[in-house]
Structure 1
Amino acid sequence: MNAARGGAQLAARAPLRTIRTADLAAVYAHPNQEARALERRGLLHRLSHGVYCAVPAEYDPATWRPTIEAATAGIATALYGDRVPVLTGLTAARVHRALPRSLGVGFVAVPTQRRPVRLVDREGVVRFVARAVADLDAVLVSTDLGPALATTPEQTVLDLGRSDPRGLDLDAQEAIAAMWDGCDAVVLDELADRQRMRSTLVRLRAQR
């Protein structure tokens, strides 16, 4: 196996096909330089400073880029580990197809507070929300980088309702409306009680 192939395969085997340049130190003496070389060869795609994902073989590396939802999941997974981050808020609504418009920001729940990460392949930013991720009601969803965790529709509705108590965020209200009828009422009640969001749920039901 040559060095270039080794680095590309390391990325392709990583969770969400995404790695930090520091991860390439296992293969290269100068990982930053080699990551850029792999990017020029079309084997890696740079998502943010120091974070790359493997380009799927079936796509043209000159034009391909993952969705912002997949990029958000990939970056957070490279930073926190597999199946730790959870796509949340409007980003979770997007992967549940409750919001048709693409957003310039990705929201992901992680165990610790972290500053936003700006994407380098587009105008966009990943925002990290410190949550007790193990307590979130989450489900595996498909992204174009692989399976990632996202909050369930019930959890997403409650989170959006709590973050927008006055109903001023039109994207949040549209997403809530799109998911509401498909939510399990029993699950909503259980989550609201366990996560102290009973007043949020009462308000959301009154608005329907």
Structure 2
Amino acid sequence: MPRRVPKTGTVTETAGDQRDRVSQEARRRGDKLRQWLAARGLKQSELAVDAGLSEMTISKYVSGATDIAKMRPSAITKLLDAMHVSDTYAWELFEIPEELRATWRSLRTNEMGPPTSSEPTMTYVLETPTQGDWQLPSNTVVTVGTVTTGMEDELVLAQLADRYWIAARAHLPAKCQVLGAFKSAAPFAGAKPH
């Protein structure tokens, strides 16, 4: 279909142009997921099993045949839980547009993100990937709060030499120093906190 040229001399975008732009964005988001998998040495089939999604569904996300930005909240929850990342981290990773972020969310009851309470917190920029129950990439900002006494299954951020763990205290190596109760994680973008 030829493009219409209005009297002003500007070219308008056709429906085909819009589909091409959308499919390019879907492929770019799929590439981001492919890169995320490759950085962790994971296969699409492994992510599918961990997420409780079909391998075909993951394959469609990776190829861009299905746009990650159009996922339903239940699928978002499964995917992000399997990836062990917050909604805000995924927004940045998959370049979810601002106007979609109000609805492109997981169904987690304790949403990850900036703390909303007045509890004292500390923020760390992790220069190396974490180990343990939750694995986050390097250059991630992690917020921690006060550790609850007697809660061995509470998720905490801990450090041993130059390595970090996010895990239940019962799962930490013996000499780890607990830095605080895990509250949130997001991609690092800017100057390091002091």
Per the shorter chain, which TM-score range?
Answer: 0.3 to 0.5
Larger Rg: 2
- Give the TM-score normalised by structure 2: 0.33
* Richer in helix (by share): 1
* TM-score after normalising by structure 1: 0.31
